[in-house]
Amino acid sequence: MPAAPALIAATADHLARFAPFDRMEREHLAWMAERLRLGYYAKGESVLAPERGEVRTFYVIKQGVIQGERAGEGAWLELHEGECFPIGALLARRAAISTFRAQGDLFCYEMDAADFHQLLRLSQPFHDFCTLRLADLLAQSQRQTQARYTAAATQQQSLESPLSAIVRRDPVTCAPDTPLKAVLETMRDQAVGSIVVVEGDRQPVGMFTVRDLIGRVILPRTELDTPIRHLMTPDPVALPSAARAFEAALVMARHGFRHVLVADGGRLAGVVSEKDLFSLQRVGVTQVSATIRAAADLEQLKKAGEDIRQLGHNMLAQGVGAEQLTQILSTLNDLLTHRIIELECTAAGDCRYTFCWLAFGSEGRLEQTLATDQDNGIIFLVPPGESADAVRPTLLARAERINRALDVCGFPLCKGGIMAMNPKWCLSLEEWKETFARWIDAGDPEALLNASIFFDFRPLHGQESLAEELRAWLLAKTVATPRFLHQMAANALRNRPPLGLMRDFVVEAAGEHADTLDLKLNGSTPFVDAGRLFSLATGVDATGTAQRLRAAAPRLKIPPAEVEAWISAFYFIQMLRLKGQHEESEAGLAMDNRINPDLLNDLDRRILKEAFRQARKVQSRLALDYQV
């Protein structure tokens, strides 16, 4: 007997409180509600199990809690009102891989598998949710974040946009032999601050901007008939039109540019300026990078450090994603560190020793958040006839001044002493090799746990070839040392994601951090540990977590969809960390990595649970691959 219209409407209203049903068209939601039946299960009763064969039913929890159990793992999953299962099994038309058991009186909406597949064809939001579950939820969360900060983000250009969507007009161009006078007249008539010098079929060979006038035209008293080829900046940087805006922002930050060309197949398509990217921001990324490059003293760099943090807050409020934001913050922090070292070397007047400044940890991975301290070191060459002990004092004195300058600029001294001014981390190339060799060949689990961030080293300033040589030597050694990889895997599995069985999350029970969990330690670290281990096991020289996972996956035969789910989960946790730090800063509180999950909205709580489940999956992969 068909359900009464009132009951169908009430069921649709109930479902519409949860994703993805809240974004489905009303007619498709009503179509679904007409085909649902209500099932009841008593406490402890099995709703679904692998031995029952191909799944024939789609379930949505109406009331109660269900627990997922796997052979050999025990309980690993907990689902609540509005959550649905087993989507993967239904899509693949196979048996479930978990047993789903009621934890109390449980009521479920149930729909036949045939109707589930028909609904996939009818409703795009439902299809997207089922086939790209985590990515779809993340996109919805991002929209909520942007809506929440609307006042601060009005009309802000999204850094996810392709450059093709940002280019405002056809670029103004000229030929290399065009006289300077004609070039200046064109720029005046077109009201532009830059002109692209092109050859042949719009192939860019140079660029001239109003910033070049003083140094190249006015002061040298350049003749107006001089061909522009003698005054242009040759070989301008170009990105393809499909590149995202944040990539242009990174190029601007790294090189101090205000313009980036857009070209496809070598043919000019447009010009993107800093104004295009950050027209509504009080602080622009290249404004900050230009300030850093031009800084003549520590006071100016201290202000630049404040601007970096303010830019981070602005971009977060504008809905910029965690991947882009952490890379931009880390890039600007790199530039600030680089400038401090330059000023120190100039002041010291003694740079006869060849060295390279190394970043470890989150800075080494380009994953810094709004709250970060220092993790750095020095690698140096020993000149012929000298010893490392003879070289070290000079570099240690310089490193202490650099570390303390960074502290003044907003990067606190590392409480664990992992800084270049510590003699333990100011080492020659051979000493670094000996140190890593001890960890790899004879390190106990505790020593390896404490040393893990050193494996994320990245050169920031100086003789980068020293770091490159150390990385090549290190990867050759780790790939050939299975005992070390096994120990690293065992360490990674000591830190389990805080998913509970009696409640959604395991939080601190009492004390200063009662009812909170640590998103860094318990959330992002499992992915960081896995990326590090996979890179060391496969010889991948990347240091970023996402880059390591993507590069190592084909060598380990991990399906791309699985890796992308891990990366999406990792960046969602990173975004929660950034949002929490932003809100703490706005409230005048010290920034940390803790949140009270009970204060999250329903959508973010749901995604966080899924993100922790992905962390469990990546750890299951480690346990299987390294027999831990």
Position 11 scores a pLDDT of 93
Residue 30 domain-assigned (yes or no): yes
| Residues 171 and 217 grouped into a single domain | yes
Phi and psi based region of residue 348 (left: phi greater than 0; alpha: psi -120 to 50; beta: remaining): alpha
pLDDT band at 98 (very low <50, low <70, confident <90, very high): confident
Per residue in 556-597, pLDDT (tens digit) is 999 998 898 899 999 999 999 998 998 888 788 888 999 999
Residue 557 domain-assigned (yes or no): no
Residue 255 domain-assigned (yes or no): no
| DSSP character at residue 493 | T
Q: Which of 278, 243, 284, 287 is nearest to 261 (CA)?
A: 243
H/E run at residue 625: helix 602-625
Write the CATH number for 224: 3.10.580.10
Per residue in 6-31, pLDDT (tens digit) is 889 999 999 999 888 988 999 999 99
Position 406 scores a pLDDT of 96
Q: What is the number of other CB atoms lying within 10 angstroms of the CB of residue 588?
A: 6
**Cα radius of gyration rounded to whole Å, the chain:** 28
Residue 104 domain-assigned (yes or no): yes
| Residues 108 and 187 grouped into a single domain | no
* DSSP-assigned states of every residue in 240-304: -TTSBHHHHHHHHHHHT-SEEEEEETTEEEEEEEHHHHHTT-SS-HHHHHHHHHH--SHHHHHHH
| Residues 209 and 125 grouped into a single domain | no
Assess whether pLDDT exceeds 70 at residue 282.
Answer: no
Reduced to 3 states (helix: H, G, I; strand: E, B; else coil), residue 60 is: strand
Q: Which residues pair with 244 in a beta bridge?
A: 162
Last residue within a domain, chosen from 273, 307, 342: 273
Write the CATH number for 73: 2.60.120.10
Locus of tokens 């719009």: 202
Per residue in 177-222, pLDDT (tens digit) is 999 999 999 999 988 889 999 999 899 999 999 889 988 999 999 9
| Residues 125 and 168 grouped into a single domain | no
What are the CA-CA distances from residue 55 to residues 109, 116, 392 (Å)? 15, 11, 67
Which class for 53: exposed (0-12), middle (13-18), buried (19 or more C-beta within 10 A)? exposed
Average pLDDT, the chain: 88
Angle between helices 560-586 and 298-317 (to 10 degrees): 110
Q: Determine the Cα–Cα distance for residues 370 and 381; give it in Å rounded to an integer.
A: 34
Q: Which residues pair with 238 in a beta bridge?
A: 261
| Residues 125 and 178 grouped into a single domain | no
| Residues 184 and 127 grouped into a single domain | no
Q: Is there a contact between 541 and 464 (Cβ–Cβ < 8 Å)?
A: no
Least confident segment among 86-90, 106-110, 140-144, 512-516 = 140-144
Which class for 571: exposed (0-12), middle (13-18), buried (19 or more C-beta within 10 A)? buried
Single pTM value for the model: 0.69
Angle between helices 482-492 and 429-442 (to 10 degrees): 80
| Residues 211 and 113 grouped into a single domain | no
Residue 529 domain-assigned (yes or no): no
| Residues 232 and 192 grouped into a single domain | yes
Residue 217 domain-assigned (yes or no): yes
User: In percent, how much of the chain has pLDDT > 90?
Assistant: 61
Residue 62 domain-assigned (yes or no): yes
Q: Which of 520, 614, 608 is nearest to 563 (CA)?
A: 614
Residue 490 domain-assigned (yes or no): no
Position 134 scores a pLDDT of 59
Domains held by the chain: number = 2
Query: In degrees rounded to 5, what are phi and psi of residue 62?
Result: -90, -40
Mean pLDDT calculated for residue range 81-89? 89
Per residue in 598-609, pLDDT (tens digit) is 898 877 888 898
Better-scored residue on pLDDT, 484 or 78 = 484
Q: Determine the Cα–Cα distance for residues 587 and 570; give it in Å rounded to an integer.
A: 26
Least confident segment among 148-152, 558-562, 621-625 = 148-152
**Structural domain boundaries, residue 94:** 5-131
Q: What is the number of other CB atoms lying within 10 angstroms of the CB of residue 243?
A: 17
